[in-house]
Amino acid sequence: MDYDSLLELVKKRRSTRKFKPEPIPDEYVDKIIEVARWAPSGANSQPWEFIIIKKPELKQKIIEYITEYNKLMRKLELLREPALQFKWVPPGYGNASAFILLCGDTRMKEAYPLNKVLQPKGSSIFDSSLANTFLYMTLAAATLGLGAEWISVTATPYVQAFTKDLLGIPKELEIYDMLAVGYPDEEPGPRPVRALEDIAHHDGYDKAKYRTNAEIQEAIIKFSRHAEI
């Protein structure tokens, strides 16, 4: 793959909020995981486990856990000033053909050098490894013409506890995140991204690009808070 093809792919990858009810071929899920298993990981530990969920009753239970948790989060969000509050919308991934739950086996942290194992950095490497494979999943889905939504709330203690109990996930495994995949039923609008010249620093930090607190808040509103989640 050349650079232009890669750039086109990462621009094409978008979060899908609405899915068609048509099922996707099983081989598509296999292809997503085949790409994901080649992701870089700390000490090549490959801590990932992928749980594919297609049964409607299981998907619905997970949605119920998320919905219950989000009721509390909506109340919590009201403590912020209005401009910074997230928009809360009903889950749109119920029609997604499959949920891919990414879990990490915490025992694989022992693969790191001992100085890392004994520090919080060990958990950071573990999380980064899982983040790498999750990104690969999203890119693979995009190449297959699928829509995908990143469901990060599955990692919260409330949703995680109930989901692990539902699916019989061992205690040594932590849920990192979940990806809903299926055929998209919408065309996402353009996604704003920061300009290259604003974020690139050469041979040191360019203090002229340091953002004030007001500029940070403006960026949060522009890039994050107006996105439906």
Q: What is the average per-residue pLDDT within 54-75?
A: 94
Among 33-37, 154-158, 184-188, 201-205, where is mean pLDDT lowest? 184-188
- pLDDT surpasses 70 at 228: no
Q: Which residues contact 140 (CB under 8 A, 6 or more apart)?
A: 31, 32, 34, 35, 36
Which of residues 81 and 8 earns the better pLDDT score?
8
Mean pLDDT, rounded, for 93-109? 96
- Mean pLDDT within 49-59: 97
Domain ranges of the chain: 3-189, 192-229
Query: What's the pLDDT at 116?
Result: 72
Question: Which of 3.40.50.720, 3.40.109.10, 1.10.3720.10, 3.30.505.10 would CATH assign to domain 3-189?
Answer: 3.40.109.10
Q: What residues contact 183, with CB distance under 8 A and at least 6 apart?
A: 19, 20, 22, 24, 97, 145, 146, 147
Asked if residues 206 and 39 have their Cβ atoms less than 8 Å apart, the reply is no
pLDDT in tens, 12-48: 998 998 999 999 999 999 999 999 999 999 999 999 9
Confidence of residue 189 (pLDDT cuts 50, 70, 90): confident
* pLDDT tens digits, 126-181: 999 999 999 999 999 999 999 999 999 999 999 999 999 999 999 999 999 999 99
pLDDT class for 120, splitting at 50, 70, 90? low
pLDDT band at 74 (very low <50, low <70, confident <90, very high): confident
The 3-state secondary structure of the chain, one letter per residue: CCHHHHHHHHHHCCECCCECCCCCCHHHHHHHHHHHCCCCCHHHCCCEEEEEECCHHHHHHHHHHHHHHHHHHHHHHCCCCHHHCCECCCCCCCCCCEEEEEEEEHHHHHHCCHHHHCCCHHHHHHHHHHHHHHHHHHHHHHHCCCEEEEEHHHHCHHHHHHHHHHHCCCCCEEEEEEEEEECECCCCCCCCCCCHHHHCCCCCCCHHHCCCHHHHHHHHHHHHHCCEC
121 pLDDT more than 70: no
